[in-house]
Chain A
Amino acid sequence: MITSAEAIDRLKTRIGVDGPEVTAPVEAGHVRRFVEAIGDPNPRWTREVPPTFLVALAPVSVHLSDAEEYGKGWLNGGNRFEYFAPVMIGDEITLKGRVVDVYDKAGSSGNMLFIIFETDYTNQRGELVAKVRGTMIRR
């Protein structure tokens, strides 16, 4: 078990460094399974993707396994989605992610490690369609 200070230092070296690009097609069957899972029957989602679908497109290319040496479980603190253009079924989206901040904080139930990451989503025409930011917490 490494100390939490070591885990934080290791994670901090990744701040601002882009992870590898991942390209994924927006498949009709995947979008259908996603909207069935969230229970949103809007017919619009047979052409376009619903607001939070981007997180399901492909695993984020930022690896957070170093953080798993801190605490015993993950919590999702929050997400922010910025949309610049619609994402349509049939699009081919390239994801590029990075850690933007790492810090720890004392909480009522012990220390918590916060990792803020963001992912850029670009379509097959090179247009930035969305940015998603997430706060993952280890405690």
Chain B
Amino acid sequence: MSVQVGQEIPELVKDPTTRQLVQYAGAQGDFYEIHYDQAYAKSVGLPGVILHGLLKAAFLGQLVTDWLGDRGTLENFEVSYRGVDMPGHPYRCRGQVTRVDGRDVELEVWGEDEEGKRTTLGTATVQMRA
């Protein structure tokens, strides 16, 4: 399968729940209360408990590794969190190829909420196998 600039990669839709946030808090060791305690989250001005930025990064990481498979190696992965997302709403991860230079491929990846707002933006650089 050839990789071309402009190509969209297969999307990944996640359905995060509060249970998953608790599971992730335990697995990562991040026990900041804004991810599982509604009253605490509201006390710091949030609409309720929110997804860990790094959980959204993990979703985008899966988007890239699912697409890449064993065809290459992930070299660089960068994400910027631009908005909050709440459990109970689907989170859609998408991406497209932005640069191809020999074996080096760059992707733009993003996560969007139900309204299509891109709340996580990222880039991934991979090197395809020779």
A, B co-complexed: yes
Please tell me which one of the listed residues B20, B34, B55, B66 contacts residue A73 in the complex, with CB atoms under 8 A apart.
Answer: B34
Asked whether, in the complex, the Cβ of B29 is within 8 Å of the Cβ of A52, the reply is: no
20-71 of chain A: CB within 8 A of chain B: 30, 33-34, 36-40, 42, 44, 50-52, 55-56, 58-59
A103 proximity list for chain B (CB < 8 A): none
Question: What count of chain B residues pass the 8 Å CB interface test?
Answer: 34
| Known contacts A50-B58, A56-B29, A38 near B74 by CB under 8 Å | no
Which of B3-11, B77-85, B99-107 is near enough to bind chain A?
B77-85
B28-44: CB near A (< 8 Å → 1, else 0) gives 11001010000000001
Asked whether, in the complex, the Cβ of A51 is within 8 Å of the Cβ of B27, the reply is: no
B57 proximity list for chain A (CB < 8 A): 52, 79
* A33 to B45 Cα, complex, angstroms: 31
| Known contacts A52-B58, A82-B75, A75 near B28 by CB under 8 Å | no
* A52 to B57 Cα, complex, angstroms: 7
B29 proximity list for chain A (CB < 8 A): 56, 58-59
* A80 to B60 Cα, complex, angstroms: 13
CB-nearest residue of chain A to B28:
A56
Asked if B2 lies at the interface with its beta carbon under 8 angstroms from chain A, I say: no
* A73 to B53 Cα, complex, angstroms: 14
A79 proximity list for chain B (CB < 8 A): 53-54, 57, 78-79
Please tell me which one of the listed residues B44, B54, B62 contacts residue A42 in the complex, with CB atoms under 8 A apart.
Answer: B62
Please tell me which one of the listed residues B32, B59, B76, B80 contacts residue A38 in the complex, with CB atoms under 8 A apart.
Answer: B59
| Known contacts A38-B58, A39-B14, A73 near B45 by CB under 8 Å | yes
| Known contacts A42-B65, A76-B53, A55 near B28 by CB under 8 Å | yes
| Known contacts A76-B52, A80-B77, A81-B78, A39 near B27 by CB under 8 Å | no
- Chain B residues with CB under 8 Å of chain A are 14, 20, 23-24, 26-29, 32, 34, 44-46, 52-55, 57-59, 61-62, 64-66, 73-81
